[in-house]
Amino acid sequence: MVRPTARTESGIPIDPVYGPEALAGWDPVDSLGAPGEYPYTRGIHPTMYAARPWTMRQYAGFGTAAESNARYRRLIEGGGTGLSVAFDLPTQMGHDSDAPLAAGEVGKVGVAVDSVEDMRALLDGIPLDRVSTSMTINAPAALLLLMYQLVAEEQGIAGCRLTGTIQNDVLKEYIARGTYIFPPGPSLRLTADTFRYCRAEMPKWNTISVSGYHMAEAGASPVQEIAFTLADAIAYVRTALAAGMAVDEFAPRLSFFFVARTTLLEEVAKFRAARRIWARVMREEFGAKDPKSLMLRFHTQTAGVQLTAQQPELNLVRVGVQALAAVLGGTQSLHTNSFDEAIALPTEKAARLALRTQQVLAYETDVPHTADPFAGSYAVERMTDEVEEAALALMRRVEDLGGAVAAIEAGFQKGEIEANAYRIAREQEAGARVVVGVNRFALEREEPYEPLRVDPAVEARQCEALARLRAGRDAEVVRSTLEELREVAAGTEENVLHPMREALRARATVGEVCGVLREVWGTYEPAGLGS
């Protein structure tokens, strides 16, 4: 037998040839089922995309709300079926644009949203009852969700008609990304309050998108990505149950967010394994009865970390392969990165090409016409089993440490991801892992490329708008609503989203609301960095 010479990104050996022996003892009924049936290995819908394609999102946001709104409108006019909003770093960290810590970062990696006024401008002219919106926001996710609801109410659209997702996954911030504000305890309380609030006010809204994407961007392997993501999701389920909710009351609105890399076969196996693990965890550990509670619904984004600034047009090919992996793996919605994102914010042409990539897959290929076309493949079924086995072993290690939060506090996930990132980097430096255009097939001189630049005057304009907002609002109403929020946050019985909504309605800012919560709940200091 020829020995394997290649390994997946998770380190699993890849055999040169797979045959029937790869599936010896394999039970297709137990492992697969039919599409739309437990354990959902083959997808969560009976015919998957045969009836309609996945939701095509484009992640966008930069500068001011008005500038981003213009981009959103053009994306929708170009055939996009969902929005995906990127927020700037100050907004993600709960700071206003005129805060000293925000200097130099306003509008740079996303749109600046300081108050409901900005949210109104961001969504101007967009039919919120017909467009599904995803917001990549975590620590202050509840605030942005409430602003969205308030703007929808102004348009005459009730919360029960709104569809979309807030990421709201703060645990992965402690592991891989760093845009946390509060300690884990209060952060999980805010998550549970958001679950309860949406159950009553916005029942079609996905209250959390448990994210492996950012772990992958930090260097996690596919196995680490799904293992740590599902371990975090288990922690959120336990938090909601401890808050008195029944599993089938909130679990159908849980969703997930994964990356799609160029390693197509392992990525397809990863998505299939993740669905199977989650279905069994929800049924066997938590006793979920509603089939929707067992379905792992996920959004996918192509791998930004694999984009290169060298020969950036090659990224069009990479994104095409990654998008195909996501579709073959059964994603519910997809964002395709623009080819120039390794250089700067995407130009409008690049964003349009990214959307067209999805449209070619949906309307020119035969892939969407049958569910799970790799089912029964010797290679993919074996790889699915191996990814599942490795992920479950890693999840057991998290459990042995006391669960996701205890493992985070011990630095376990972060350490494992960093070790994997180092391994991949060493392989690339040695040439064992090829990156076309970087460590092989490089050009002596790169062709010039003119990236999109954010106008530096954006920050000044945003600060001026904040000054006008504060001068024009009723300061006493703002003060009293913030004081009510402080009292509820200091207690344990009431839902903080209700006073938070009234403060935002009174035009309190993101920084002011988060400032009150910082005073009550404190801020998170990673181990070794505290004073």
- All domains of the chain in start order, with CATH: 27-430 (3.20.20.240)
Average of per-residue pLDDT across 469-485: 98
pLDDT, position 71:
86
Q: What is the mean pLDDT of the chain?
A: 94
Average of per-residue pLDDT across 87-114: 95
Residues 19 and 32: their CA atoms lie apart, in Å, by 18
Residue where the block lists tokens 């917001």: 135
Given a contact cutoff of 8 angstroms between Cβ atoms, the answer to whether 172 and 147 are in contact is no
Main-chain dihedrals φ then ψ at residue 256, nearest 5 degrees: -135, 165
Q: Is the pTM of the predicted complex or chain greater than 0.85?
A: yes
Residues 228 and 277: their CA atoms lie apart, in Å, by 12
Residue 20: CB atoms within 10 A of its CB come to 8
DSSP structural state of residue 283: I
Pick the residue with more confidence: 151 or 31? 151
pLDDT 10s digits, 149-162 = 999 999 999 999 99
Average of per-residue pLDDT across 284-297: 98
Residue 31: CB atoms within 10 A of its CB come to 18
Give the chain's largest Cα–Cα span: 79
Task: Tell me the residue ranges of DSSP E strands in 2-52.
Answer: 6-7, 13-14
- Among the residues of 243-377, which ranges form H helices? 247-250, 264-280, 291-294, 314-328, 348-364
Main-chain dihedrals φ then ψ at residue 205, nearest 5 degrees: -85, 135
Average of per-residue pLDDT across 428-433: 94
pLDDT of 1 > 70? The answer is: no
